[in-house]
Each structure stands twice: as C-alpha cells, then as structure tokens.
Amino acid sequence: AQSVAQPEDQVNVAEGNPLTVKCTYSVSGNPYLFWYVQYPNRGLQFLLKYITGDNLVKGSYGFEAEFNKSQTSFHLKKPSALVSDSALYFCAVRDLYNFNKFYFGSGTKLNVKP
C-alpha cells in the first residue's frame, strides 16, 4: 500500500494567487509529516513538518500546511504565489510503526506564471 500520495503531477497558478499542493497519507498511528522542495539540479530542501499540536504549521518561504486527521491529508499552501516558487514539491511521511521508514510522494511540479 502506498504510504503517501500526491494526486497531482503538476499544479499551475498565476503569480499572486493562492496555491495548494495536495498530499494524502496512509500509515498506522500518528504520522510525522514533512514537505520538501527541490529546485532543478539541487537536493531537496526542508520546508516544514507536522509532529503534533496545532493542525496548521508554518514553514519556510511563507509556506504553511494543514494537517487533517480525518481526511488523512497534509496539503501545502501559500496565500500568494511567487514565480520563484516554481519547483518540484515532495510530501513525506515517517512511519513510526514500520521501522521509522521515510516514504516520499511522487512529487508535484508547481508552475507559477507571471
């Protein structure tokens, strides 16, 4: 069973508009959830994480993510997109009940057009 899914290969938004990149997960117990961003020819950069507590977590570069336990989702959001946000975004989950393994989604390419 896939532990984390990103249903959209690509998301297109206009600069200044809000953006959402979707992620759903499937692990036992309480998950540790993460978002990463990858720019061309670079490694992944950590954006934010949810461990426990407030369902809305804030991260780097104005990004935030909302944890929804009932929908098993952890969508990444930003109120106003920038062209420089264009990159590949990965959702990840640490499965504490499966030897602490990290599972990454397939990635979503975000295109922000001027």
Q: Which residues of the chain form contacts with another protein (CB under 8 A)? A: 32, 34, 36, 42-46, 49, 51, 90, 94, 96, 99-107
Find the shortest distance in angstroms from Cβ 90 to another protein: 7
By beta-carbon proximity to another protein, the closer residue of 12 and 30 is: 30
Question: Smallest distance, Å, CB 114 to another protein?
Answer: 27
Pairing of strands 32-38, 87-95: antiparallel
Euclidean distance between CA atoms 33 and 78, whole angstroms: 17
| Three-class secondary structure of residue 57 per DSSP | strand
Cβ-contact 29, 97 below 8 angstroms? yes
Q: How far is the CB of 99 from another protein (least distance, A)?
A: 5
